[in-house]
Structure 1
Amino acid sequence: MTSIVNFEGIWGVGDETPHCYLLTVDDFTFLLDCGWDEKFDKDYLDRLTKVLPRVDCVLVTYPDPLHMGALPYMVGKCQLSCPVYATVPVFKMGQMFLYDWYQSHHNYDLVEHFCLDDVDAAFDLITQVKYNQSIPMRGKGIGLSISAQPAGHMIGGAIWRILKDGEGDIVYAVDFNHKKERHLGGCELDKISRPSLLITDAFNSSYRQERRRHRDEKLVAQLQETCRNGGNVLIATDTGGRVLEMTHMLEQMWNTKESGLSAYSLAILSNTGYHVIHFAKQMIEWMSEKLTKAFDTLRTNPFSFKHLKFCHNLTDLNRLPSPKVVLASFPDLESGYSRELFVQWATNPKNTIILTSRTGPDTLARRLIDNPQIRTFKLLEKQRVRLEGSELDEHFRLKREKQQQQQRIKEEVESSSDSEDEEGLEAGKHDIIVLHEKAGNQSMFRSRKHHPMFPYHEDKVRGDDYGEFINLDDFDISSLKEENKENMDLQQIPFDNNDMMEMDETPTKCVSQTVTVRVAAQVLFIDFEGRSDGESIRKIVEAMHPLRVILVRGSHTDLQAFSENIRSMTKAKVFTPNLGQVVNASMESHIYQIKLSESLVSSLALQPAGREMEVAWVDGCVTFPTIEGTPEEAEDRQVISTENQREKAMATLTLITREQAPPHNPVFINDIRLSEFKQVLSRAGISSEFNAGILWCASGTLALKKQDSGSVSLEGPLSPDYFEIRELLYSQYAIL
């Protein structure tokens, strides 16, 4: 039976916002990516919270916030617990992206949507997979399987294929790149032919890229010109994706004497920069064939840099001599060190700001790209400052009150525990008989006499289920840290997210102010996005020749133009849904879910037809449920059933009588092979042989032929052999 496939855009449909989509195959629901945006809309969070109970599986394509940034929110605030699948590099680099994103925002503002514990909990849910590994689904997804294919763009990037037994496959491919780069080998969409459904984006459908050689020459010339004039260069890039292509290329430039760049400082400024490169060294097998061969033969790691310096704050960066070239996160200039450096360096005409990606609308980087003539910006600058004066006194007062409250609660718990242990013992502590009578309170029951034990007071150790409470002050090693601080090498410290959680003991607050930035530095956009351009995308889709196409993320103009191109090239049915619109992308347009009544199921006369299959002819009548109650109640129930498709009432197929059943011609079900039927004849004692593709029986008087339609014809004179062979032939079919 053909599957029912429904698609719904939660975010990123019809615009340029991050990716987040629902794909339902029969009763199993996939969440395709879960992106996060700097300028998040509350409607998105509400919509995401409502649909999460329906999600059975999450598929993540890339490690950046554009594709997986909302995962910690879904796990920490919405209690998402279903399986999440991502490739090994997406798992490792995704953590670096989100740690860097969180710390960059925490440095100057409050982060409300999730914390670092939520990031860790989210990645605990992820199942790491390899390319071309087939993963079968469980529960409601039995019969479905998924596999990841190389997508280019970023290390570990995935094109997800969803396959169902006996049916076509569904391909989810966004932001892919077919070109081979320095560290990646490109996507493999050319190996996928005629998928039943292709889900892709139109973000670059009308975009023409500059040739790679011209782009690199332009970058080198700009770096040389700026550094020779005594200026600094800021390259705004991401945390652990496209930054690998940039660092690998710049290291090669610094190794080339002809470029003359080795005299200048080259640095990466990020909260997780060192760990990103450390992970990249361990994942050479996920990179291009050229790098893997060089690593196997020369045993040199392409990410063992000699010139690139790692800076984790502005203090480290200021120690490097100028002129310098700095790669800083993030590419949109909305947060992180790239924004801080932009505010500092944009006012100097000697400096250069290089933007490497067309980020989302309304971001600072996008405004600089779309409106290069605007040189003055008003920016809302936020920062954390230490509390002083009365604010600091008030903070410590509230802190003391909180500690006193906790101490009172602790003492009350201890005293109540002691009173329970000493219940029944009176003030007397000698070996005499003590009557249990309280003064002023005569009991109507006769008091019992007890002989208390020799007076002994036991000091109880207070603790939790795991043992005695530990006084953390006894294990304070802050003094040791201060003594050894100068001898510690940051690049040799293993990654621990507790490093990201360490906050200054001095209390701080967030303040904001509007500042005016006059851009005197040169601002350039040099494309290092790593996506296929419009012409290449059209050729790839035409070669795939999909039967159905759903276009997402992109401007309205690009979506409409690209959909017309696809229709003319492949004759495929193309959908361009709106946000929140549910699209039925099933292969058959007239498919309905229906349940069988118990009386009909018990009356079925099933007959074997082929391997592991039974069929029966059904004569029944379709009935639809009626909604009882008042019109208002009926309308409410219809609204509920529309919102919750899982619980909506379905039509029922009920049994009808033989008199009501219409007559029908017999139906023969099976695929007969003459070679197998020859063995059936041999077992029945009838000789037969093949000649020119015809099976001759009964001494050559009867002929069995396979028709083009798949049916088998029996030709020859009417005789006992004719009727015997016909009966044997009929027995190979399920006749309904």
Structure 2
Amino acid sequence: MASALQFTAISGAHSEEAVCYLLEVGDAKLLLDCGSFEDYSGEGLARLQRVARQVDAVLLSHPDMSHLGAYPLAYAKYGLTCPAYATQATHMMGRLCLQDVVRTLTAREEFTQFDEADVDAAFENITALQYAQPKTLPGRHADIVVTAHAAGHTIGGTVWTISSGGETVLYALDFNHMKEEHLNRSSLMEGAQGKVSTRLMKPTLLITGAYTALHRVPPRKRRVECFLDTVARAVRRGGNVLVPVDSAARVLELAYILNEWWSRDKARRDTHALCLLAQCSRKTRSFAQSLAGWMGGGVEAQLADRDAKPFDLRHVSTVQSVEELDRKLGGDSRARGRQRHAVVLASLESMSGFALDLFVRWAAGKKNVVILPQRGPPASLARHLYTRWWDRTQARRPTDTPMKLGAARLSRAHVSVTVKKRVPLEGSELDAWRAQERRRREQEAARDALLKRKRDMLDDDDVSSASDSDAADAAAADRRLGMAAAAGDMDAATFSQLDLETERLLSGQTYDLYVRGRGPVRGLYLVSKSYCMFPFQEKNRRSDDYGEIYDLETYMIQPDADDAAHLLDTAAPDADKPYESDTAARSETRPTKPVTKERRLQLNCELAFVDMEGRADGTSVSNIVVQLMPKRLVIVHGTSASTTALADFCRDPTVEVTKEIYTPAVGEILNVSSGVNVYRMRLADALVKHVPMAAVQGCMVGFVSGRASFSHEDQTPVLEPDHAELTNAWRPPMLVGDPRLSALRAVLVRQGFAAHFDSEGTLVCNDAVAIKRASSKRAKCDTIKILGTPSPDFYSIRAVVYAYLAVL
């Protein structure tokens, strides 16, 4: 029977928040994306926590915060340990994106949601897939097959198909129908002349977004020209350019465009530096070069050229701190003592982190410009600046025309920002921290000594026998404590016991320990007995089978100095490797504390928005939805206005698309099952060997006639051969496929036959054979009749017709 489908929006419905949806296919629960922005707040995380342990699989679409920002948090704290799937590029760049966010937040505030170790552990749980690679879910959900298709928008971006029984779900969020500089267009548009792919048409359920439903943007070529012209004007007048970007997704397109443009003019390279500023900027460049096979556009030509290095951003300097950027601008030999200016791609997309640091520094400069390539997350500084630009430049634009391009100068305007940073501890705070660290080190040393003593006791205790009840309980407790400490899996109670004994040891109290010794001989056996001793433990000497004492350090291989230097060099092949993150180095050597300050900035710089999001606009999304012809449609990820606009377009009677359209609210459960009954049957071996198979459009099809029966061992019905049917085996032939005479005529012409239609629509071949289409009431289907006298042409034409049509 067909699987029941239920859809629930956890977040990202009637809003532009991060996306996370729950799709139930039968008794399997699939989580479609797991996004959150860097503030990690909102009701979406609470709803995710309630369902995380029930999820059977996670599908991740894009390597950005909106699609996978909450995945490490859910894996580490919510119990979302089920299998997860993503493309290899999404797996690599998504991990890099979250590492950059964790380092950025940790360097500025007390971020305790998760750490880099949690990110690594979560992404080790992800199964990396290739495009068009069907993947069957493990265990009892083996009837569900998920397949990743290219979405464009980001490297490794995915449009998912989920198939189970007779149901096919197409999850297409944030796709791009146009080819870009480093990416090809989405697999949705693999058809000819702007048509959608036939293999993705007519899904049972289509889940898509309305994020761009109300946006009309100019052609991509004009937008790229506007972006470069805005940068060029700032460069000519000697200003700085700030472009807030993410750290691993859309930044690749912007870096590639600027790098190619930068290589055409040596003058701008002498006066300005092109930099990528992020916590993991060097990894971003090296990872992108290793994923060149996932790219398209201009990178494909570089892959074909053996002399060119794919995705070689030779003019983009990677820096990992503002201090390193200052050193690069002031210490370059080409500057000849002058302070150089810069065009900086700075993280993060929301204009927090390094982007905020540069914005505070450059906002008051009249020669500087801030270019927003994306609208930014809701309630962020980037979204606030975008709203100001929109109100200034698009106030008188008709709603049905593309947005105007260009920069705006917000003269005498002010903006309030929240600056978060860490400052070194001083005075009494520094003394208190040092005292706390000293106590912590003493406790750790005492705990390590106590654990070592108990491990040594376990090594020496090789005699097993019974003893007094109290002594045996104490010895067993010591044994469990030592074994738990050695295994590293001590619970809270064990740690409490260790802390109690550590405090006693630190306070100088003496207490007795139960130490086993050899007791008297009773009969033929030695009796082990525990004695109360003072805390003294004899050091056990380790010896081999011949009694020779050995030292473990003698056999340890110490790394050679040259090997260590080689490992250090290979870890970071960039030329500017010596510059490390000053923030990270300072936090390791000197204690710091987070400080938050509100600042009011005067905006004298130019502000521009150039849509470089890499998403299909509203018109394109509407046309693609119509061509996909889904049976049911769910619209999410957009404001209430954009969601309603796309739904109203699809509900228009003149639009040939399904009228089963759903716009769910957050938390609403939708039953989107098709209601079609599909039954599974197992074919008996005796039946299969008598079935002739024919190839039809890449599939093998055969005519089966039998009787269904149930066995006691298996609940799946078995189709057995019908002996009465086998006795009267003849039946009229059946054509499978589309027996169009026009297509058949083209096949005959290619085979060298003269074929044409007469006035009655009969296909005449070589003026000797007639082929006509007729209806058969007995077979209840259309048939093809071949009329003519037996001749070599007749048999040759019949063979061509039989090869073209599947006859069962």
8 Å contact 2:38–2:101 — kept in the other structure? no
2:540 aligned to which of 454, 460, 485: 460
Give the aligned partner of residue 233 of structure 1. Answer: 241
Q: Pick from 620, 626, 629: which aligns with 1:536?
A: 620
Q: 1:360 to 1:613 in 2, by over 3 A?
A: farther
Change (3 A) 1:689 1:423: closer
Pair 1:499–1:376, CA change in 2 (3 A): closer
Matched residue, 2:82: 82
1:100 maps to 2:107: no
**3-state SS of paired residue (2:601):** strand
Query: How far 1:371 sits from its partner (Å)?
Result: 1.9
Residue equivalent to 1:526: 610
Contact 1:392-1:507 within 8 A present in 2 as well: yes
The Cα shift of 1:680 comes to 4.6
Q: How far is the alpha carbon of 1:408 from its aligned partner? A: 3.2
State whether residues 62 and 157 of structure 1, in contact with CA within 8 Å, keep that contact through their aligned partners in structure 2: yes
Count of equivalent residues: 592
The Cα of 1:175 is off from its aligned counterpart by 0.8
Kept in 2: contact 1:99–1:500 (CA 8 A): no
* TM-score normalised by structure 2 residue count: 0.66
Residue 580 of structure 1, aligned match among 664, 667, 683:
667
Shift of 1:340: 0.8
Contact residue 254 and residue 262 of structure 1 kept, 8 A: no
Contact 2:456 2:539 survives alignment (8 Å): no
Question: Structure 2 CA distance, aligned partners of 1:342 and 1:68?
Answer: 27
Counterpart in 2 of 1:329? 347
CA contact (8 A) 2:162 2:168 kept: yes
Instruction: Name the aligned partner's letter for residue 671 of structure 2.
Output: N
The AA in structure 1 aligned to 2:421 is Q
1:635 maps to none
Equivalent in the alignment of 2:215? 207
Letter in 2 for 1:460: N
Aligned to 2:255: 247
Within 5 Å, give how 1:526-605 maps onto structure 2: 526-568=610-652, 569=655, 570-588=657-675
- Counterpart in 2 of 1:144? 144
The equivalent position to 1:708 in structure 2, one of 780, 785, 789, is 780
Query: Which of 410, 426, 440 lines up with 1:388 in the alignment?
Result: 426
Q: Secondary structure at the match of 1:77?
A: helix
- Contact 1:6–1:583 (8 Å) recurs in 2: yes
CA contact (8 A) 1:27 1:140 kept: no
The CA RMSD measured in Å over matched residues stands at 4.3
SS of 2:633's partner is strand
8 Å CA contact 2:17, 2:637 repeated in 1:
yes
Inter-partner Cα distance in structure 2 for 1:294 and 1:126? 30
Partner of 2:25: 25
Write out aligned runs for 1:327-406 (5 A): 327-333=345-351, 335-372=352-389, 375-406=413-444
What is the rounded CA distance, in whole Å, between the counterparts of 2:374 and 2:144 in structure 1?
A: 36
Could you tell me how far 1:43 is from its partner in structure 2? 2.5
Contact 2:107–2:584 under 8 Å retained in 1: no
What is the CA deviation profile of residues 380-419 of structure 1, one whole-angstrom value per residue up to 9, with x for unaligned ones?
2111111111111111111111222233334445566778
Amino acid at match of 2:778: K
Q: Which residue is equivalent to 1:56?
A: 56
What SS is found at the alignment partner of 1:365? helix
Give the equivalent residue in structure 2 for 1:66: 66
Aligned partners of 2:148 and 2:161 also within 8 Å: yes
Map 1:279-678 to 2 at 5 A: 279-288=287-296, 290-318=298-326, 319-320=328-329, 321-333=339-351, 335-372=352-389, 375-413=413-451, 459-460=539-540, 491=574, 503-568=587-652, 569=655, 570-588=657-675, 615=708
- Point out where structure 1 has 5 or more consecutive residues left out of the alignment: 425-445, 593-607, 618-668, 694-703, 711-736
Q: Which amino acid aligns with 1:550?
A: V
Q: Deviations over 1:69-123 (max 9, x none)?
A: 1111011112322111000110111111011111111111111211111000011
Q: Look up the match of 1:731.
A: none
Contact preservation (8 Å) 1:224, 1:261: no
239 and 259 in structure 1: CA distance in 2 versus 1, 3 angstrom threshold: same
**Is the contact between residue 546 and residue 572 of structure 1 (CA under 8 Å) also seen in structure 2?**
no
Match of residue 135 from structure 1: 135
Q: What code does the residue aligned with 1:181 have?
A: E
- Correspondence for 2:791: none
Distance 1:210 1:418, change over 3 A: closer
Could you report, residue by residue, the CA deviation over 1:272-309 in whole angstroms, capped at 9, with x for unpaired residues? 11211212212222111553244224541342123211
**Cα displacement (A) at 1:236:** 1.0
For residue 692 of structure 1, report the CA deviation from its aligned partner: 13
Provide the rounded CA distance (Å) in 1 between the counterparts of 2:436 and 2:733: 98
Match of 1:706, SS? coil
Distance 1:56 1:501, change over 3 A: farther
Shift of the 476–572 alpha-carbon distance from structure 1 to 2, 3 Å rule, reads: same
Tell me if the contact between 1:116 and 1:501 (Cα under 8 Å) persists in the aligned partners.
Answer: no
Q: How far off is 1:612 after superposition?
A: 11
Q: The residue matched to 1:530 in structure 2 has which SS?
A: coil
Give the 3-state SS of the residue equivalent to 2:7 in structure 1.
strand
Q: 1:295 to 1:407 in 2, by over 3 A?
A: closer
Partner of 2:122: 122
| Distance of aligned partners of 1:680 and 1:10 in 2 relative to their CA distance in 1, 3 Å threshold | same
Residue 169 in 1 paired to residue 168 in 2?
Answer: yes
Q: Separation in 2 of the partners of 1:313 and 1:340?
A: 10
Deviation at 1:349, TM superposition (A): 1.3
2:47 pairs with 1:47: yes
Identify if the C-alpha distance between structure 1 residues 390 and 290 changes in structure 2 by more than 3 Å, giving closer, same or farther. Answer: closer
The answer (yes or no) to whether the contact 2:707–2:720 under 8 Å persists in 1 is no
Residue in 1 that maps onto 2:788: none
Flag the 1:29–1:351 CA change in 2: closer, same or farther, 3 A. Answer: same
Instruction: Say which SS state the counterpart of residue 562 (structure 1) adopts.
Output: helix
| 1:188 counterpart residue number | 187
2:186 pairs with 1:197: no
List per-residue Cα deviations over 1:153-212 (Å, max 9, x = no partner): 0011000001123x1410001011000011111112111111110000001011111222
Instruction: Check whether the contact 2:181–2:297 (CA below 8 A) recurs between aligned residues.
Output: no
Q: Is the 8 A contact 1:10 1:48 kept in 2?
A: yes
Counterpart of 2:713 in structure 1 is none
Determine the C-alpha separation between the residues in 2 that align with 1:572 and 1:348. Answer: 54
* 1:417/1:284 CA distance change after superposition, 3 Å: closer
How far apart, CA to CA, are the structure 2 residues paired with 1:692 and 1:396? 86
Q: Match for 2:366: what amino acid?
A: P
Q: Which moved more, 1:101-110 or 1:319-328?
A: 319-328
Q: Which amino acid aligns with 1:329?
A: S
Paired amino acid for 2:109: D
The residue identity in structure 2 corresponding to 1:572 is K
Gap runs ≥5 in structure 2: 189-195, 330-338, 393-409, 464-518, 529-536, 543-549, 679-686, 689-702, 711-718, 737-775, 783-808
Equivalents in 2 of 1:689, 1:188: separation in Å?
42
1:585, CA displacement in angstroms? 0.6
